[in-house]
């Protein structure tokens, strides 16, 4: 946690892939993360949250469809893009008015979140446009110039990212296929 409090970027194994994480409230951490990845701020970022209670101040009240998906798939590899409150930074929402968030089921993420108790930015641990590393040693090799704290743990062997859905009222749109097959979602997709 000290690294996050200092505004450092950490590498964190989620249940799907390795991600780079920062404290979204630390001044300078976002610029450092985006520069490392070569990622434009207009793309938006995913937040890992410890639970729905820590997400609620960031989103508009979730629809019944969104709540159902949260109850069935959180913690787990489902990311939901939900209508965001207006105070969120554009680099988090990508200027879309939506914030992408999830509660991870990875034991190492759950342990960190139990201590941290706040959202963390999470973006794939690759340079933009490159494959995402699936092993701690690959993360270190990709970022040799960075003194990254790498929190290792088991990830999916298939290398699939989290499934990403945008939920706006009753309308659900698949933004990225991933670890949860669409047929398991049991919701009509737009």
CATH number of 2-185: 3.90.870.10
pLDDT tier for residue 45 given thresholds of 50, 70 and 90? very high
* Number of other residues whose CB lies within 10 A of the CB of residue 68: 15
Question: Phi/psi zone of residue 95: left (φ > 0), alpha (ψ -120 to 50 degrees), beta?
Answer: left
Burial string for 19-36 (b: 16+ CB within 10 Å, else e) reads bbbbbbeeeebbebbbeb
Per-domain boundaries in the chain: 2-185
* Whole-number pLDDT of residue 133: 87
The dihedrals phi and psi of 110, each to the nearest 5 degrees, come to: -60, -40
pLDDT tens track for 140-181: 999 999 889 999 999 888 889 999 999 999 999 999 999 999
> Which of 46, 20, 3 shows the shortest CA–CA distance to 175?
46
Read off the pTM: 0.95
The C-alpha angle 97, 57, 82, rounded to 5 degrees, equals 35
* Whole-number pLDDT of residue 190: 83
pLDDT tens track for 102-129: 999 999 999 999 999 999 999 999 988 8
Question: DSSP states of 146-164 as a string?
Answer: S--EEE-----TT----EE
Tokens read off for 69: 């998906």
Torsion of CA 14, 156, 92, 164, to 10 degrees: -140
125 and 131 Cβ atoms separated by less than 8 Å: no
* Whole-number pLDDT of residue 27: 84
- Looking at residues 68-88, what average pLDDT do you find? 97
* Whole-number pLDDT of residue 134: 86
């Amino acid at each position: 946690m000290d690294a996050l409090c200092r505004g450092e970027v950490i590498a964190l194994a989620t249940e799907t892939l390795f991600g780079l994480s920062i404290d979204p409230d630390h001044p300078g951490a976002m610029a450092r993360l985006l520069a490392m990845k070569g990622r434009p701020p207009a793309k938006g970022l995913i937040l890992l949250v410890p639970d729905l209670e820590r997400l609620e101040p960031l989103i508009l009240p979730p629809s019944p469809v969104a709540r159902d998906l949260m109850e069935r798939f959180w913690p787990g590899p489902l990311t939901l893009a939900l209508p965001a409150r207006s105070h969120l930074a554009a680099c988090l929402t990508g200027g879309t008015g939506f914030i992408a968030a999830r509660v991870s089921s990875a034991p190492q993420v759950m342990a960190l979140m139990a201590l941290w108790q706040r959202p963390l930015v999470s973006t794939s641990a690759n340079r933009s446009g490159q494959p995402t590393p699936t092993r701690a040693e690959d993360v270190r090799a990709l970022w040799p110039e960075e003194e990254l704290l790498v929190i290792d743990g088991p990830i999916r062997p298939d290398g699939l990212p989290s499934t990403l859905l945008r939920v706006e009222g009753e309308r659900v749109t698949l933004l990225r296929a991933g670890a949860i097959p669409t047929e398991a979602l049991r919701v009509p997709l737009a």
